[in-house]
Every structure is written in C-alpha cells, then in structure tokens.
C-alpha cells in the first residue's frame, strides 16, 4: 500500500482546550492513512467538517491543545495549520470556536453558575462575568481594578469563584471570605487590603467552609484551567468565551460587554 504523506506547515494553529469534552468516537479503521499518521502521534479527533476547496477539516487534540488539519480530496495528504482565504482571514479559528471551544465553554458556564461564587457589584447588573479568583493573586486584583468602572456604573456583576491554589494561606483566606456573614464585603476587604496581606484568616470559619473552596479548586482543575484569573464572559455574538490570565487593556471592553464608562 502506498505510504500516505503528511504535509506540515511551519506554523501550527493551537489554542488551549479543556481536556475530555466533545470528543467524537472514531476508530483507526474509519480514518484515511494520512489522518492515521497523526492519530499514531497522539492526536485525538474532536470534530470534523466540510472545508473549502473540497478539503475535509479536522480539529484534533494533542496534549490538551487543539491542532487543526485538513485532508486533501485524494485522501493521501494532510496539511496541518490554519486555513487562510485570499483576504488573509483565518477560516480555521471560527470553526474551532463553533465546534469545540463554544460547546465546551457553554458547558463550563452552566457548571460555574452552580458553583460557590461571591457577588461583586449589583445583582441587577445586566452583564454577568465569572472569574476564578485566588485571594493572593495580584493579577486577579489588577483585573478587578480594571473592571471597577463597569462595576461602579452598575453595568457588570463580577462573580468570583474563589479558589485557594497560589499560597499556603490562599485556601484559608478564600474560606474566610466564603463563610463570612457578608461574603461580598469580605471580598472587598481582601481587595482593599491586598498590599497588606489581605483579609485576616478566621480559623473557625475555615474549618466550616474549607470544603467549599476545595470544590471550587476541583472545578477549576476539571475545566483544564491553570491560571488565575480565568474568566468566562459572553461575547458580542452571544457565545461564551474564556480568558486565562489578566486581560490586556484592549480586551476589557469585550469582556465587560460595552465601552468603558466615562
């Protein structure tokens, strides 16, 4: 049998994936030889679709990262990387969002809604943003400062899913906030006193509420997240999107859902 060829472009298209979601059942016998070459290298197929030019598009997962590749009509070659049109527009990224990341993020959103989170802002604010927050995370505090104008204007409610992962006292601080009589006020106190070490740990509260933080830690891990803040928001097209790490200034309006209040 003729050996199938795999053509590799110099630039790989890769975005972070949440492991284990939306996998399509495939078998080696169902795949052309060129695709099987990639499967043998550890790639698993997440989704397939009809791509322009008679190609078959694949979105694969390799070690938690997405790899897009295309099978040529003759079934003998695979080209790995993003597909561009004559205008230089990336045709692959929207498909990754629609077929893989979109469904994953929708599922994650429903899980986070049921998690233990602390309200930051008005409960009547029309835009909801979820963010995984460690009480000791400086980038979480920077994100909160950047979000301040939208929160104060009543446009956004930031819902903090408190985790304890960065330092030894992160979990006790998170439990102290979650178990406080007024968790929102305790959260603000930790934010305001961040430069001085944050909120003072209440050991009695920690004993009663540590498991709630541990559940949030587990949720964060199950979603494949490794950094705080990790933020979920609804984009302008209605799709749920996720940002790991502190957003850049130019990303804030998209996350907050509107232009910065004046």
pLDDT tens per residue, range 73-117: 999 999 998 999 999 998 988 887 778 777 888 999 999 999 999
CATH topology of domain 115-256: Glutaredoxin (3.40.30)
Taking the C-alpha atoms of residue 169 and residue 171, their distance in angstroms, rounded to an integer, is 6
Domain residue ranges in the chain: 5-89, 115-256
Position 1 pLDDT exceeds 70: no
pLDDT in tens, 47-72: 899 999 999 999 988 876 778 999 99
Position 168 pLDDT exceeds 80: yes
pLDDT in tens, 209-228: 999 999 999 999 999 898 99
Residue partners of 252: CB distance under 8 A and separation at least 6: 146, 147, 260
Please give the average per-residue pLDDT across 120-139, as a whole number: 97
Q: How confident is the model at residue 3 (pLDDT cuts 50, 70, 90)?
A: very low
Are the C-beta atoms of residues 117 and 111 closer than 8 Å to each other?
Answer: no
pLDDT in tens, 169-183: 999 999 999 999 999
Please state which CATH class domain 5-89 belongs to.
alpha beta
- Of residues 204 and 195, more confidence is placed in 204
Q: What is the pTM of this model?
A: 0.73
């Amino acid at each position: 049998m003729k050996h199938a060829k795999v053509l590799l472009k110099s630039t790989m298209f890769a975005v972070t994936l949440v492991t284990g979601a939306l996998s399509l059942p495939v078998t080696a016998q169902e795949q052309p030889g060129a695709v099987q070459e990639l499967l043998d290298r550890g790639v698993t197929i997440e989704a397939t679709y009809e791509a322009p030019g008679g190609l078959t598009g694949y979105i694969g997962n390799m070690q938690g990262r997405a790899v897009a590749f295309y099978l040529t009509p003759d079934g003998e070659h695979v080209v790995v990387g993003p597909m561009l049109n004559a205008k230089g527009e990336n045709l692959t990224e929207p498909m990754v969002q629609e077929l893989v990341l979109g469904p994953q993020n929708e599922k994650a959103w429903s899980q986070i809604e049921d998690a233990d989170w602390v309200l930051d802002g008005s409960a009547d604010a029309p835009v909801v943003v979820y963010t995984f927050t460690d009480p000791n995370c400086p980038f979480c505090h920077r994100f909160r400062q950047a979000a301040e104008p939208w929160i104060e204007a009543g446009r956004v409610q930031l819902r903090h899913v408190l985790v304890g992962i960065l330092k030894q006292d992160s979990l006790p601080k998170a439990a102290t906030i979650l178990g406080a009589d007024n968790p929102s006020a305790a959260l603000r106190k930790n934010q305001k006193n961040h430069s001085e070490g944050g909120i003072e740990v209440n050991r009695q509260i920690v004993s009663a509420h540590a498991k709630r933080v541990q559940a949030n830690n587990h949720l964060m891990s199950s979603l494949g997240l490794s950094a705080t803040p990790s933020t979920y928001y609804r984009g302008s097209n209605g799709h749920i999107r996720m940002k790991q790490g502190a957003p850049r200034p130019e990303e804030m309006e998209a996350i907050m859902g509107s232009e910065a209040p004046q």
